[in-house]
Structure 1
Amino acid sequence: MNQAGVSPGSPPIRVLLADDESLVRSGFKVLLDLEDDITVVGEATNGAEAVERARALRPDVVLMDIRMPKVDGIQAAGEIARTPGLQQTRVLILTTYETDEYVFDALQAGASGFLLKDAGPAELLHAVRVIAAGDALLAPRITRRLIAQVTATRRAAQAGHDRLAVLTQREREVLALVGQGLSNDEIGARLFLSPATARTHVSRAMGKLGARDRAQLVVIAYQTGLVSP
């Protein structure tokens, strides 16, 4: 994926940390606050508090643990996605490999992506910047493998081809490449389109399919069988 960030002079990316472990929150806060273009505006110890604080603070990114008391990260992501005025707030789910198989549900609920909890500092900072820029980020180490594992058991129940009927042939081609993790630049190069035209096709596919962002397009591509595991 392309490197993402903010332009010089832009306001810093405002991040809300949601994790029930204080040491984890403290570590993330120290790391994020060291960056000139990122600032931590609040913390939450459970999903219910995360929703409440998101509504009050309107952060750009919520860094959300998937497993928390009272309300878990999945439910919290869904509530944030449904809250009027928080359309621009992106939820980045933190997960642990092989134990958190509910990542798929989090993406459907409205999360913009997920990242392994043991990701390195550079990977975490990159993820926050990519999410804040309006793109989706699914941890490269587990993206296709995890989504494929979860969706494979559900695909039979999905009316995949009917769902894609609203798309043009070009939009289907673009959706398939989004599902493979390609950026707009890469899609443009593959289909001999300009990056701007590729972005337009991606946006139209999102609108027609009711997808919140690219993360949900990836899920749909697998869910409908457009991309094979």
Structure 2
Amino acid sequence: MNTTASRPGRSGALIVALVLGGMLLIGSAISSIPRITGFFTSYWTGRSDLLTGREPSISSTGALSEADRVDYSEVVIVSDQPLLLPRVLQATAEGLGVLVIIAGGALAVMLAVRMLRGRPFVRMLAWGLGSVGVLTMLAGAIAPQLHAWAVDAAVRALGYEVSVAADGTLTADGPEMIVLPQWDVLWVLGRVDVTLLLLGVIIAIVGMMVADGARLQKDTEGLV
């Protein structure tokens, strides 16, 4: 039951899957080269929040008081410094997403080749789905933390004033402060890409079901 028949329609579908999987595999691998190397050959950029006593325009109520504070969300930090650790962290996070696509394309190619040759494929399908599922979960759960870690490390290396040193009072002529990523459990969980994480869980579960189904079929062959 896990080998393919030589019907033209099925062979045509497998050839299409082979071509599309190969294009996806090669395309994602090639496109990832400039995306990942760009982290090391261009300006480092990261996003964080900013605390300051300055307002973008003059307040109609008069001068700012000592206790006034303005929060800027998603300010861009740019630097031409080496910042090796932040760049490696960002490249790793990007690589996790690329690996998901490469693994999916490779699985499609290997399955199509194996089915065209009339070879058993269930074990490969089960392990392949499990691997793609795990990579997808890592991309959803770990990659956002790596981006946050990169910003944390870069801000400290560049010597910016950080919010942990603030006493809650900022003045218009005082230093601006970068809000570092929060590392308590709630903030870490809040950065997780839930959609990508759950998609990985579903793919991994399907892989386990395929493996269990193959074992069940093997155990019950000839009993009916």
TM-score by length of 1: 0.22
> Over alpha carbons, which structure has the higher Rg?
2
TM-score by length of 2: 0.22
Q: Which has the higher contact order (CA 8 A, sep 6+)?
A: 2
